[in-house]
Each structure stands twice: as structure tokens, then as C-alpha cells.
Amino acid sequence: MTKVASLITLLLIWVSCSPVEDNVSFDPNLEILFSSDSVAFDTLLSDSRSRTDRLTIFNPNENALILSEVFLGKEATSDYSIIVNGKEGSRQVNEQILGGDSLMILVEVNINPRNRNTPYLVKDSIVFNWNGNTEHVKLVAWGQDGNRLQNEIIGDVTWTNNKPYIISDTILVRPNTQLTIEEGTTIFFENDAALFVQGSLVAIGDFENPIVFRNARFDGIYDQVPGQWKGIYFLEGSSNNIVEYAKIFNGQIGLRLGSPDDDSLPDVVVSNTEIYNMSVAGILAFTSDLEATNCLIYNCGLYLVGNFAGGNYTYQHCTFSNDQSFFVHNEPSVQFSDNILIGENELLTDNLTIEMTNCIVWGSQGEELLINNGGDAIVSAILTTNIIRSGDEILGNFASQDSNFPGFFNQFLFDYSLDTLAFAQNKGTDIGISKDIADQNRDAMPDIGAFERIDNE
């Protein structure tokens, strides 16, 4: 046998032994399968890149096939980008899929501004051509334009509810000026962004149109992850601040006060407001004056409420609970103190006045309220008809360590309204707060906490 004949024989043997899945078929009847017929993204802010989603293409056939083209329908003008089998670009050619194997495509979308007040649909598709066949997988996202602010010092200005505000880094309201925020306005904070107030913040929403302060990412798990932005900081000299009907969540600190002055008048008045999913605290204050009514604060890392180094604090019809939480707690969730350690063996101390009426102080610890007078300042604590998780008897209040003693409807789902047989019903003192946080009327025997239980007769 000649060398040429031997080579041909060996080649024929190799081809005959080649695995079936390696043999490319151009049969037009070969089908491919997709992990989904569309790739959909949550609403995205303009100029923000989405998380990466995945699309898998399966070849269920015995033989290999070749995707002659994989491309975006709008190609270079598309808001989307794809990576096909590790190759980036709006069009790829001749991608082979072995029999019984699969190929992965990574998909992202970058929303371009369109100068619209309302959300808008951003569409495209991925087109697949093989063996004379064509298939489309739809790409769908909603875009939302916003007013972007970064490292700005602002004065007297009103933020309207036409489009959301997107905050990067730090925004400062300078002294003797006022930032006014309309009802229904949403403020998105990008990673580690913060709002600092030296002047005044007047953010007044209503029950139907609350003002929202939240993180800028809300795709996938980011919708419930604490610690994504810093918080709202009221600095020394800040006064006449009002926060009403607001939702503040997924940050480090909801409201942070450091505004000592020579009077006891509240520099921050907050009402009908929810603060939750905070990695550090819901309300953190130092030598400050605050009044809070009808507020719900839950799921915070260190403190639901932490008021230190003295000050004057009034809480009425508030619900504070770390009963269910993303965090492990070793200390009381609500703490007041006339001092704070600011250096080695150095205490900052001031007089402390607390008035707490018709509030629920609850959590997973046996003791959830701590009042510390270790600074030897004057401490006055007036606690009236509150429900407090404690093993001690607290005169004029209701103390217990029983599971769900207040009677929350479903604390496992962070629903802190009251159940039908809640102990908190009709146990409060009438102090003239006519409506609850859900805009329902209170009766002459109000319930304890932010919610009034209304039974339909």
C-alpha cells in the first residue's frame, strides 16, 4: 500500500470514529431551544447600566450546528450590548454548538436619556440565523429619565415630581436656604451618596403621594439591600426641617442629626414616615431636638433609634421593631444617652429629655430599650402607655417578653399593622393625634403604635 493510500485510509477511519456531536449538520429541520423567549429588565434610570442577564441557547440535536449569525436587531444603534460565547460585539458569525451542548449570551442595557417625564419602553431583539432558519429573542426594559446632581451646593430651590432626582456623591443645602420637595417626588441616591442640610429641608408628601428617598439600583436583589447610600444629614445650624409622608430605605442612616442649639424646640419634625433597611440606624442623633409622630422604623443594623449626648426627643404613636431583621443584634435597638465617648476617656455630655407616648419598642432582644445616664447630666424620661420589650415592670407602660406581644399582623413579612386580637388595641392615651400612618381615623381609645386597627363591621 502506498503512502497516499495509507493516509486516505487513516483519514477515513478518523472521520468514521469522529463523535456524532462533533459532526456539523446543515439540515434545516434542526431546531434550537432558548432558556427564555425574552430578556426583561426592571426599570432603569437613564445613563445607568443594568445588571448582566443571561440567555442560554441549547442544541438538543445529535449533530453540531453552526449559528451563521447572532446579532442585535438595531446593531450599533441599540441600547443593548451582548457578549456571545465570550466575544463582545453587536454581531457575531459562525458560532458552533456541539450536539447536546449549549452556548451562553450575556446581555446588558444602558438607558440613554430621552427627555421624557414618564417611563419609556426600550426594545430590541437578538436575531439568530442557522441552516436557513431565523429566530428572535425579545429584549425589553423600561427607562426613566431623571435630574442628575453631583457634588453640588444648592440654595432656595424646589424639587418637583415631574422626574426623579438622581444624586451622586454629596448634595449640600447651604445655610439660611430651603430645599422644598413636592409630594410624590422620588430621590435616588447612588452608591455612598448623601444629602447634607445646613439650611432647611421641607419634604411634605401625602398618603397617596409620599416622597421617596432610596437607593439608585433596584434591579434584582438591590431592591432590598441595606447600606447602598449614606443618608440624610442635618448639620449644626440646620433648623425648621419637616419630613412628612416619606419613605426612606436601603441606606446606612435614615435621618442623622447633629444640630445642637440653645433651645429645646425641635429642629426636625418627622411624621407619617417609614424608615427601613438601614445598615446603621433609622434615626441617629447627637445633642439635637427632634419630634416624631406616626413613624414606622424597622430592620436596622445597630439602632432603630439612637439618641446620644443629650438633647430633646419626643416620640408619639411610633412603631419601632427589629423583631424580624436582616441583622444580628446584641444590644437594645432603641437607645438614649446623656453622653457619648468622643476620645480616650473623654465624654461629650448634655442634658437629656425624652417623651415617648403610645409607642411600640420591640425586637428580638430580651431588652429593647436602654436609657443611659452615665454622663451625670440631667435626664428626664416621661414614658406613657408604651409597649416595650423588657423583663422589667415599667410604670405606666406595658412590658413583656412574650413573642409578638404587641400583636403585629405579620412581622415575618415586615407588616407591623395590628392583627385582629392585638394587645395594642385600645390601650393608648388620647393625645389628639387624629389619624394614623395609614391615614385612618383614630377613635377615642387609640391603639398603641403607628397603626390604628380598623375592624369592618
* 11-20, 76-85, 406-415, 433-442, range with the lowest pLDDT: 11-20
What pLDDT score was predicted for residue 244? 98
Contacts of residue 105, defined as CB under 8 A and 6 or more positions apart, other chains included, come to 54, 55, 56, 57, 70, 82, 83, 84, 85, 126
* 284-293, 321-330, 416-425, range with the lowest pLDDT: 321-330
* 163-172, 322-331, 360-369, range with the lowest pLDDT: 322-331
Fold exhibited by the domain 19-143: Immunoglobulin-like (2.60.40)
Structure-block grid coordinates of residue 352: 437629656
Q: Specify the DSSP class assigned to residue 35.
A: S
Is a pLDDT exceeding 90 seen at residue 15? no
Q: Specify the DSSP class assigned to residue 411.
A: G
Q: What is the pTM of this model?
A: 0.87
Alpha helices (H) along 291-353: none
Query: What residue segments make up the domains of the chain, in order of their start?
Result: 19-143, 145-418
Three-class HEC string of 167-195 = EEEEEEECCCCEEEECCCCEEEECCCCEE
CA-based torsion, 219, 113, 137, 106: positive or negative: negative
What pLDDT score was predicted for residue 10? 42
Is a pLDDT exceeding 50 seen at residue 12? no
Amino acid at residue number 132: G
Is a pLDDT exceeding 70 seen at residue 429? yes
- Dist CA 182 CA 73 (whole Å): 41
Task: With cut-offs at 50, 70 and 90, classify the pLDDT of residue 4.
Answer: very low
User: By percentage, how much of the chain surpasses pLDDT 90?
Assistant: 83
Task: With cut-offs at 50, 70 and 90, classify the pLDDT of residue 243.
Answer: very high
Task: With cut-offs at 50, 70 and 90, classify the pLDDT of residue 324.
Answer: confident
Is a pLDDT exceeding 90 seen at residue 308? yes
